[in-house]
Chains A and B, each alone.
Chain A
Amino acid sequence: MSGAEYLLFILMLSIFLGFELINKVPATLHTPLMSGANAVSGITVVGAVALAGTGSETMSMWLGMGAVTLASINVVGGYMVTDRMLSFFKKKED
């Protein structure tokens, strides 16, 4: 397998996996789930670094740097705010 078919194969498996995993998240955690998922969607930074690091001052490099910046806000902000929220969730101590 190579190229597009391989990527589509990965896509299908991860969508099924995502449905299975997230169906089990209780309603009380839906906000942290959403902001945590948001941080994960900052994964675009991985693609952006290769574009921003070419060293050539081309359009593509500037676009890549913009993407690195935006995705970093997403990653750092997303994980930190999720952690902050989850730190509030406590069980009743008797």
Chain B
Amino acid sequence: MAIELITQLGYVVASGLFIFGLKMLGSPATARRGNMVSAVGMLVAVISALLDQGIVDFTYIAAGMVVGGAIGAIAARSVAMTSMPEMVALFNGLGGAASLLVGWAALSPDSGAFTLVTIVLSILIGGVTLTGSLVAYGKLSETIGSGAVTFSGQQVVNSLVVLGIVGGAIMFCANPTDLSWLYVVIGLALLFGIMAVIPIGGADMPVVISLLNSYSGLAACAAGFAINNNVLIVAGSLVGASGIILTQIMCKAMNRSLSNVLFSGFASVSTEEAVVEGEIKPISVEDAYYVLEAATNVAVIPGYGMAVAQAQHVVKELTELLENNGCEVNFGIHPVAGRMPGHMNVLLAEADVPYDQLLEMDEINPRMETVDVAIVIGANDVVNPAAREVESSPIYGMPVINVADARTVFVLKRSMASGFAGIENPLFYKENTRMLFGDAKESIGGLVREFS
């Protein structure tokens, strides 16, 4: 009895540490300690769980922890910051799989109706999280095509899968001793995870990762109900809430509803072309240097292309040279720039750009008129003025960074191919826009050489 009490108190302490750790994540100055606090909370929770009197053999527990811990540690040390989105996707999937297994293992012949329902929920959410994350991982790491996969009758197939899940779940709860219904539910949940993510294109991945993040928490939460454990519920719902908030922020930043992201994609882009006035004006590295040398206020707008070109370090070099030249440099970061929320911030932080130089869209836009040169690196849709000006554009209404308000805009771009969403960008044809064609890393490197 006494040990049981210690375990429960341990869970209370752990929950408090998780909450406190999350609170400290609210500011860059305390975030690292916050993560430590949360990790200590996890340690307390695990030790408390190991006091459980039902545990008679620690061999398999130790084996699982050592193997899992080693894999996790190696992955965490070796992953490149540009690959963070796929790493997070993969971890989400593992979390979902763990909840699926716990739900499954929690099944016993004397489970009551409430427990059976929660077991089904943890299997269902866990299964969808697992395969959905694996597909997201494949798309993000480009091991499978990153485009949206659609086929005729997709809605019908998905509806059948959902009906099958509901039917299987009901049959299982009615006859919990017949495991074949359980296997049906597991199989269909795994299938549904795949079906749900394949129609979503690469540019919408920030929403998908956030949502799967939320699911991995909700799966842990459901598993908590299945095994009657409150620390799982507290921690799981904190994660669930976090993922939902990020999902909302991402959707808002694209001016789309969640259902629009999940069910339509950009597959039906209208082919009617808005007539774009003006012409493309290329600029050479040398001429770009002369403009930058005279500038006193520069804004850099990075996008996924910067990550692809691995240009963040050379961008930092250019920033330093500009600052030594008496110029103010800021970064304007759109919420959906990159492949996951905050992706650009992490890349730039790794390249030693101080975080107070990284401005959010709402901070940089009012300052844009005082900016001499706005440098757009590998971003497209998030700076597309069509979102403000062209009502027929599929991204009309999406908040964008108003780079065209700057005196001069440099757009670093590999070629004239349109962005992920396949939408024409009138920015390239504006009077004050100059195109610096070529690999972003080489172009910026060229500018750095001109300066030094």
Contact = CB atoms under 8 A, between A and B. Distances in A.
B49 A65 contact: no
B232 A76 contact: no
Nearest to B29: A91
Interface stretch (B65-73, B163-171, B264-272): B65-73
B25 interface: yes
A81 B246 CA distance: 19
A88 to B, nearest CB: 4
Contacts, number: 370
Q: Size range of the interface on B?
A: 35 or more
A64 B107 CA distance: 11
Contacts of B32: 83, 86-87, 89
B101 A91 contact: no
B349 interface: yes
A47 B225 contact: no
A3 B11 CA distance: 17
Contact of A48 (B27, B84, B102): B102
Contacts of A68: 60-61, 64-65, 68
A12 B249 CA distance: 22
A15 B373 CA distance: 44
A70 B97 contact: yes
B198 interface: no
A18 B242 contact: yes
Contacts of A24: 23, 26
B88 to A, nearest CB: 5
A50 B35 contact: no
Interface in A39-59: 39-55, 59
A37 to B, nearest CB: 4
B98 A34 contact: no
Contacts of A86: 28, 31-32, 35
Contacts of B34: 36
B356 A91 contact: yes
B46 A45 contact: yes
A46 to B, nearest CB: 4
A61 to B, nearest CB: 7
Contact of B114 (A4, A36, A76, A84): A4
A1 to B, nearest CB: 12
B384 interface: no
Contact residues of B: prevailing secondary structure: helix
Given A22-B242, A34-B210, A68-B68, A27 B335 contact: yes
A84 B35 CA distance: 10
B401 interface: no
Nearest to A61: B60
B42 A43 contact: yes
B233 A39 contact: no
B237 A32 contact: no
B111 to A, nearest CB: 12
Given A24-B26, A77-B76, A69 B67 contact: yes
A78 B25 CA distance: 15
Nearest to A76: B72
Nearest to B209: A34
Given A35-B84, A50-B227, A43 B35 contact: no
A91 B97 CA distance: 38
Contacts of A17: 19, 238, 241
Interface stretch (B214-222, B278-286, B385-393): B214-222
B94 A74 contact: yes
B332 to A, nearest CB: 12
A50 B333 CA distance: 45
A92 B316 CA distance: 13
A3 B233 CA distance: 13
A54 B187 CA distance: 27
B191 interface: no
Nearest to B352: A90
Given A67-B105, A68-B68, A85-B84, A38 B239 contact: yes
B79 interface: yes
Contacts of A88: 81, 346, 349-350, 352
14 contacts: A7-B225, A28-B355, A41-B235, A41-B239, A46-B48, A46-B231, A49-B46, A50-B227, A66-B98, A66-B101, A71-B95, A81-B76, A81-B79, A90-B355
Pairs of residues from A and B, 10 with the lowest C-beta to C-beta distance, nearest first: A72-B68, A18-B241, A77-B72, A30-B342, A53-B55, A68-B64, A55-B57, A76-B72, A30-B341, A80-B76
Given A32-B31, A55-B56, A74-B98, 20 more contacts: A18-B22, A18-B238, A19-B245, A28-B349, A29-B26, A33-B341, A33-B342, A35-B87, A36-B21, A43-B231, A43-B235, A45-B46, A45-B98, A52-B60, A53-B57, A63-B101, A70-B68, A70-B95, A73-B69, A76-B76
